Each structure stands twice: as C-alpha cells, then as structure tokens.
A and B are shown apart, each in its own frame.
Chain A
Amino acid sequence: MAISRTSWSGICISSLCTLLYAIPSASVAAPGFIAGSFIDGDEHTARMSVQFRCGVEYLGHEPSNHGDNLRIRLDSTRICTGAAPSIARNREQHRPIGADAARLLSLEYDGDSPAGKILRLDFSEDVRFDLVQSLNDNTITIHITFDADAPPKDPAESTSTSRQVNRTDAAEIKYVINLESSLRPPATADFPSLALEDDTEIFVSEAIIDGQTWYRMRVGYFASADEAARVLRKIRPQYPSAWIDQTNDEALPLRRPESDPAVASASAEDGDASVAIESDTKIAQLMEDARRAMIVGEISRAIQIYTKVLQQPPNEHQRDAQEYLALARERNGQLAHAKAEYQRYLSVYPDSEGADRVRQRLAALLATAGGSDRQVETMTAGGSSRRASDWNVRTFASQFYRRDANQLNDQDEVISQSSIYTDVSVDARRRGERFDFSARLTGGHRYNLLDQPERDTNDVRLSYAYADIADSKTRLRGRFGRQTRNSGGVLGRFDGLNLTYGLTERVELQAVLGKPVYSTANGVDSDRTFYGFSAGFGPIGDNLDVRAFVLQQDIGGLTDRQAVGGELRYFGENKSFWGMLDYNPEFGELGSVFIQGSWRLPSNFTITGLFDQRQSPYLSLGNAMIGQFVEDFSELTILYTEDEIRQFAIDRSATTTTASLGLSRPLTPKLQLGFNASHSSVEETPESGGVLANPASTYSYYSLDLVASSLFTERDVTIFALRYSDSESSNVTTLNLDSRFQIGRAWRISPRIRVDYRKFNTDGSEQWIYTPGLRLEYRLGRKVRFELMAGKQFSTRELTSNLDEDRESYYFNLGYQLFF
C-alpha cells in the first residue's frame, strides 16, 4: 500500500490548524510553603505573584532593582492555611508554568538558611524589578521589566480593542477575566453569583476557532492587568482555571445575558453556608436552601451548602447532597470535579436507587466533555490551564568528542575512533482549545577525524521527523513522518502514518501504515511496506490494560511478515505483570513471547522474573537476504524460488531465549540488596543457500549487587557488584565498584573501577582485566551541562606458552549539552 501525495498534503494542511489566543499561566504548587504562583506579561514586562501557605512578612530584598537574581527576605507569621507552621522551614524549588514569560529559571524558597527565610528568583538574563510592589496577606507580587529602555507599548498597536461600548475608549487596552469556555451558549442559570464591583459585569463573548463557535463567560472590563488580577484572586476558588486576557473580541459581537435577579443579587450570603450545623432539622433546611440556590442559579452557593452537608456526621441527606453537589459542579462548568463527585457517589452508594441515574449523568458528562475528557481535566483540575497557548519551540543540542584507542604489547597504538558527534533535537508545539499541534526533528552527525580516505565514515542520522495533530473533540490523533512504535506488532522506527482514535475513555483504536527504518543513517526501505490495526482497552477493573493487534508487511509483492497478537499489562498494589505475544500466521511460527513480572512479599522481598523468547532477527521473508550477495529482494526472487526463499528466511532466523529470576530487598533505607540469575540460549541455524551454519550457544550469569547510600557524604551512593558468567568460550568473574558524589549544586563526580578475571575454556589461559574510569559533570545554570567520561583498561592474558598478551586501551568523551 502507498499513500498518495494528495493524502499527505491534506494531512499536512490540516495539521496547520491552530488557535490564536495566548493565556497567562497559573500554577498551584501544593501542598508546600509556596501554595501557588501566577505569571503573566508581555514582551516587555511580566508580573509574578507568589502565594504562600502561611502569612508572610516582607523584610527586604536585594539587589535593589535589577540583576539576574532576586533574593527576598521574608518571615512567616505562623498563621497558616491547611499546614503546620513548621512548613515555613521547608526548602522548595519550583519552576512555575509560564516561567519563560518572566525569563525565570527557577523559584527557590529556603526556610532554613543561615540568612533566614529567603525566596530566590533566578532569571535567565538581567532584568529590572520595580521592587516588591505589593504584599497582601500571604502573597508577594513582583513586577519585572525585561528592557528598561523599551518604549511603552503604543495602545494604537494593540490588537486588544473591543466593541464593548460602555467602557473606555476603544483604542485603550482593556482586560477581562475569562471564567470558562464552552461549546454551548450558557443559559442564564449558568451565570455564577459573583460579588462584583459596580463597573464590572459578567458577559459572554463568542469566538470562532477552527470553524467552531466557543462561548466565553467573562468578567470585565478592567483598566489594568493589576486590577483584573486582584479580582481574579477573589474568584479563583470558584474558577480555578480562570485567566486574564486583553480584550480581543473586536470582530465579534458581545452578547450580554438577560437580566437575572439571581445573578444581580449575587451574594454576600455565600458565607452563610459555613454556619455551624448541629441538628437534622438544620441540615434539612440547608438542603432546601441549596435547592433554591440551584433553581435561581446561585450555583456556587449551592456547592458550598452541599459541601457543608457532606462534612457533617453521617445523616440521611448526604446521599442526595452528594448527587446534587456533582450536578452543581457540572452546571458550574467544573467538569473534572463533577466527574469525581459522580464517581464518589457511585463508590459510596453503588446500589442506591439513584445509582443508575448518576451513571447516566456521568456517561453523558464524559461523552459531551469529551473526547475532551482530557481537555476537561486540563482546564479544571488543580487550576492549571494550558490551553490556547502560542507556539512553543524547544531545542536541545549536544556536541561530544569521542576517542577510543588500544595497544597490544609493544605494538603501535591503534586509534579506533576519533569523532565529533553533534546531535540536535527541535520540538515545536502549539496547544489550542481544540487542536494540539506538535512537530519534532531529531538528528545527528558524526564527523570522523581519522584519516580514512578508503571509506566515507561521516554520517548523518535522522531519528525523528514528524508532525502530530490531535483533535480533542473527535479524539482523533495523527502522526506523520519518521517515528517509532513498538506496540501493535510494529518493530520500532518507521516512516509513515499512525492514527489513533479514542472510541471511549477506555477503548482506543489505532491504525498504522508505513515503511520500516532499519538504520537512522539509511533512507527508507523501499522494498517493505506494512499496515496494521490495533485496539487498546483499559484500564479494565482498576489496573489492567489489554491490547490486541494484526499487522501485515509485504516485500516485493510477497508477504514478508504477518503478526497477530496481544499485550497485557497489570500494575497492582504489590504485583505487576507484563506479557506480550506475537504470532506469525504466514510462517506458522511464534514470533516472540515476552513475560515480565514482580511480586513484593510482606517481608519486603521482591521476586522478579523475566522470560523473553523470539526469533532473532524477527522472522520475515526478507531475512533470506542475509548472507546473500544481492542488492535488494527482487534480485533474490530471480535466483531462487519462493519456497526456497521462505526456507532460507526460516534458516536465518535463530530462536533466542532468555529467562531470569531475581530477588531484591532493602536491608535498610540506605542499603539495598539484589540477586539475579539469568540463562540465555541461541539455537543453531543450518547451512543453506550458500550461507554457513551457526552453532548453538548458551550463556548464564549470576549477580549480587549491593547499593549503599551516604557512605562517605550525605548524598553519595556506592554500588558493589559481583558477577559470575559462564559461556562456551570462557568463565568470567567480575567485581565492580562504582561511587557517585555530588559536590555543591554544580558538580557530580563518579569514580569507578572494574576487575575481571577470565578463564578461557578453549586453551585454559587466564586473563586479568582492570578498568578504572571517571565521570564528571558540571552544570552551568539550568541550560548548559558539561560532561567528561574517561577510562583506561589494562589486561594481561597468561597464555599456556608462557607468553603473556598485554593490552592497554583508553576512551575519552568530552562535550556539552545545551537547552534553549
């Protein structure tokens, strides 16, 4: 099968559908001393609010107004919300979502430093901060300016004008708070009860995105982002995913809601729900109040009342309160919470008369929310909304010099490698309210410094080059280009198309079409094409995932490989199991069986097992080319009949089997012991088609490992390993000692030594091998790492003729990694 150019073009064009709206980023880090952070800004300025779990007192900061870091001295008032005052002694490091918008590398709090409680902000460049500008209760707000000389933004250039007329001049930048977005127009009853200031109101705007009309419930207008942020803080408990936007609705009319007394009388009465409740009569009265609140659209108030009822000791109203709380959450647009409340109802009252009704509500919620169930989670859970962002491009690059050399006795040193490896990976993505688009390009180049004119040893590798688009509405996702996949009968890297469709939350269908890639340095394998289908189910019960697949691969008009099989994965409380089976109907052979499991016993012993049997290489008709002097498969079909080719393919595909059994146990929190025994075998392959036979071979090994931490310093780790291996050619006993130390925040050093004693079965000779080595890592900020890895190997083999064979070799890797 082949994909037409037209099809590819269509996919590429459709993949460019993205959204236009940028959002500020909010993050909630809980539960630590830093309760959350909020960043918004533009190209010149940013504003960052840090909220603490306890009241804080600002003592001072330094440097005074600019630099690449800011240290703010604080003290805790010891009045905390949901945490013990001792939490102020925490040490925490955060990187808030949207940190890049503030040029922020990290946000660190050290509550136990000799200098007192310090909040430290590290920036990626020199920035100007206006001072710590406000300190309200437990929040610190910092205004950051990136380029102090930059002219103020010309309001006329703003795209944020609006037709909303009862506010300020249309050329003036205005701000709104986006409470929620939905695909259906909100009913009047959906409007929340918010205590708003006189000059602000709730309204609905419409936005057409990818042909889809979105309805945005908003509060506005605000003359400044500060003003909007102040209101946002008040309403965030009700709308954890609310965000601030500059008005951008000029092209679209705003629609005001009809007058609603319930909305207008928004409620300061919300606090009534916290009245202490003691008697059943009062609870009944509360239920009635909540019902009325629901009717008049005071959803938030209803939520508070139902929550209070559920916090009371067990009573007859709680079942209804649980159901209505879920309903209120749903009407309030808090779909993830609603889902959780419905699930809680079904968990607590699975056999109640309302259970069927609740199941239906939950099913409807999941169906309408979406394929967008993920989106719902994203928009509401925990208050973090990452939708509708701009393009985000990330690049990783590394360059390493590698050198390998060895020397036998007094002969000249032979340099086997002297190359510079350059690797680059670029990720681009844009998340929209409906479409998520991403693309990836990962490649590398090796520059050979050795003088080897006889062959071209420089090579270019292309590991990934794909575009990916996901539609949260239809649950359809497509990835086109060079990619990898190992499930569904696909054997790794391929060029092609992979489509995924979420039939339900728990059932997923996949289709794949492509050409295998056997080497990233090579082009596409033009001889082979495959297509396949798979279906994934799960989680079934609580912890089980099952997948079934079929796949057909052709070569030169013949069937190259067929695969029918399945995969089963289970992660339990103390047990895990993973099994895969791949059967090849074309050859009537088992392609592979893989089983891995672990079981933790009450005594903290963990027993592990692994069984892996496969044909190596995987049985396919194309294996017949192994050992043949042909350029491609078509040449083989000229030389041999189909039956002969099929037999050669079977002859070249040896069955390999590995079985291992292990036992591990933490002796103390600082000491872990592990034992493993493993046996591998490779069956013989016969001589055929002019290709020589390969004898069978076996290999067994036994290992005992001890991992110990804090032996020399607080955060070091040392690994002692003793191994014994047994094969046809030799028996080897190995002792390995590997220590790793961290020095300060920037340095890591890892010395290691390995000693091998080898006894050759062929001539009875003995060999000692000593391999000392060193790894060194230095971090320069968060974006640059330098690495050195070097080692030397000395070996002496005492041959029976009293002639020693001495070898020396060394390796050397030095380079850096960059993120930007």
Chain B
Amino acid sequence: MLPVLLALVAIAACSSSPQHLAGKLDPLTGVTVTRAKSPLVLYRENSARAAYARDFVYVGPLTVNRMGSYNHYLWLGIWSSITNQQLSDQRDGFESIVIFADGEPLRLELEGWTLSSIGVSRPVYDKPTATAADAYYPVTMDQIRVIAEARDIRLLTGGPRAASYEPWDNLSQGLASIQEFVRTVSY
C-alpha cells in the first residue's frame, strides 16, 4: 500500500496545474458557454428506498455569453444509485433550493429543467445517468464566488420531505474547479 501511496503523492505533486477554461460556442444559438471542469458532488442516504441507496446531486456553475450579455447559472445533475425511481419524485423539492455555503444560505429558484431555459442547444454538463434530471438556477457571480470560497457546501430542497444533501468528500476538486471558473469568467 505504501509504495502506491507514495507514487500517487509524487504524481499529484508533479502534475500540471489546471488550465484555464475556454468558452464553447453553441452552434445553434450562437452563444458562448463556459463551465467548470468538475462539479461538486453532494449526496444523501436514501435508505427508505433501499439499503445503501444514495441520491446524488452534482453542482456546477456555467456562464452563457450572448453577444456580451452574460448570464450565470448553477446546474444541478440530480440522480440516484437506484435508477428506477419515479421522475416526479426525483424532481420534487428542487424548484426552490437553498445552498448553504459555510452556513450562508443562497436561496435559488429554478429557471428550468431543459436546455432551452438557459438558451443553449447542447448539454453543458454531461448527465451522470440517463435518468438524471438537469436543473438550472440563475445565480450571480457573487453567489458563485461565495460557493467557490466555502469550505463546506450543502443543499436543502423544498417540499414536505425536504432533503439535505451533504458533501461526498472534502469537495477539493470541485471547489478548485469553481475557483478556476470564477477567475476565468471574472477576468
């Protein structure tokens, strides 16, 4: 085990830094879309459905540049390790969510569930599973920055069965990616 760990330390230490993100032109709508490379991974245990069933939410920022007019969004990829759940149940509560960034509540309202809601024609982030639901929330750069600077992120859905999603791990990869996104988009 030790040699493997040492090798990983060496690889991690010597690896190149993430390069700046580049905007991608959407060929149908003519907008330029910039996104973070890695989303944050949040989860909750859903033992009511199955032992060790876990519901996941990927969280990633994106910016749509429409001829100099910028709109910022947060994308949520909502999915479960048990893929046979009802799609209604999956989306319930995600119309209004609260993201707690180090306890600071960011109340977000859904913009839409499809690409048309953000004015693009191609998926910005890939669906983790075919049954995953995409959700888009309008945000400001301030809000994205608050998320990028946080050490602890969690998400609370609305509804009578409000679900709290916690970080899967220390979020380092996702937060570094969002920090990179903020720097890129802010320049």
What is A's interface to B at a CB cutoff of 8 Å? Answer: 27-32, 83-84, 86-87, 90, 92-97, 336, 340, 343, 346-347, 374, 377-378, 381-382, 384, 386, 392, 394, 396, 398, 400, 402, 423, 425, 427-429, 431, 436, 438, 440, 442, 463, 468, 470, 477, 484, 486-487, 491-493, 500, 503-504, 506-508, 510, 535-543, 545-548, 550, 564, 567, 569, 571, 574-576, 578, 592, 594, 596, 598-600, 604, 606, 608, 610, 612, 614, 616-618, 656, 658, 660, 662-664, 666, 668-672, 674-676, 678, 699, 701, 703, 705, 707-710, 715, 717, 719, 721, 723, 725, 736, 738, 740, 742, 748, 750, 752, 754, 773, 775, 777, 779, 782, 785, 787, 789, 813-815, 817, 819
Contacts and interface: CB of A to CB of B under 8 A. Distances in A.
Given A535-B5, A538-B12, A666-B123, A392 B87 contact: no
B8 to A, nearest CB: 4
Contact of A541 (B15, B41, B119, B183): B15
A773 B133 CA distance: 20
Interface of A is mostly: strand
Contacts, number: 334
Nearest to A421: B160
Interface string B1-18: 100110011011101111
Given A576-B126, A710-B116, A719-B87, A542 B18 contact: yes
A806 B86 CA distance: 24
Given A508-B170, A662-B129, A740-B95, A382 B145 contact: yes
A28 B186 CA distance: 9
A92 B122 CA distance: 24
B160 A90 contact: no
Interface string B114-125: 111101111100
B32 interface: no
Contact of B121 (A548, A592, A666, A676): A666
Interface in B135-149: 138, 140-143, 145-146, 148-149
Given A97-B146, A542-B18, A782 B183 contact: no
Given A30-B141, A396-B98, A663-B130, 10 more contacts: A384-B142, A394-B100, A486-B43, A500-B170, A571-B38, A606-B130, A669-B29, A669-B120, A715-B112, A738-B91
Contacts of A87: 68-69
A507 B170 CA distance: 12
Q: In this complex, which of B29, B41, B170 has the most chain A Cβ atoms within 10 angstroms of its Cβ?
A: B170
B104 A779 contact: no
B93 to A, nearest CB: 9
Contacts of A707: 113-114, 133
B179 A381 contact: yes
Given A90-B69, A738-B88, A674 B160 contact: no
Interface in B157-187: 158-162, 164, 166, 168-170, 172-173, 176-177, 179, 182-183, 185-186
Chain A to chain B: the 4 pairs with minimum beta-carbon distance, closest first: A662-B130, A427-B103, A813-B160, A669-B116
Contacts of A676: 83, 129-131
Nearest to B131: A676
A468 B104 contact: no
Given A84-B69, A540-B11, A95 B140 contact: yes
Contacts of A675: 130
A491 B121 CA distance: 40
A28 B142 contact: yes
Contacts of B9: 503, 507, 535, 537
B183 A606 contact: no
B116 A670 contact: yes
A32 B107 CA distance: 20
Contact of B172 (A382, A538, A608, A663): A538
Given A96-B142, A669-B114, A678-B83, A536 B170 contact: yes
Contact of B38 (A510, A539, A564, A787): A539
B7 to A, nearest CB: 10
Contact of B37 (A542, A666, A715): A542
Given A484-B166, A545-B173, A94 B142 contact: yes
Contact of A618 (B19, B52, B146): B52
B156 A492 contact: no
A172 B41 CA distance: 51
A819 B98 contact: yes
A779 to B, nearest CB: 7
Q: In this complex, which of B17, B82, B119, B120 has the most chain A Cβ atoms within 10 angstroms of its Cβ?
A: B17
A463 B68 CA distance: 46
A598 B126 CA distance: 7
B130 A541 contact: no
B35 to A, nearest CB: 10
A545 B12 CA distance: 9
Given A537-B8, A707-B113, A93 B138 contact: yes
B48 interface: no
Contacts of B119: 669
9 contacts: A86-B67, A425-B164, A542-B18, A542-B37, A545-B172, A608-B130, A666-B115, A709-B114, A740-B113
A592 B151 CA distance: 29
Interface string B30-59: 000000011101010100000110100000
B85 to A, nearest CB: 10
Given A486-B54, A775-B159, A429 B103 contact: yes
Given A423-B162, A782-B107, A548 B45 contact: no
A593 to B, nearest CB: 12
A604 B159 contact: no
A746 to B, nearest CB: 10
B128 interface: yes
A249 B52 CA distance: 55
B23 interface: no
B8 A546 contact: yes
A380 to B, nearest CB: 10
B104 to A, nearest CB: 7
A666 B127 CA distance: 11
Contacts of A617: 51-52
A4 B179 CA distance: 39
Interface in B66-113: 67-71, 81-84, 86-88, 91-92, 95-96, 98, 100, 102-107, 111-113
A473 to B, nearest CB: 14
A716 to B, nearest CB: 9
A598 B79 CA distance: 13
Q: In this complex, which of B16, B96, B126 has the most chain A Cβ atoms within 10 angstroms of its Cβ?
A: B126
A507 B13 contact: yes
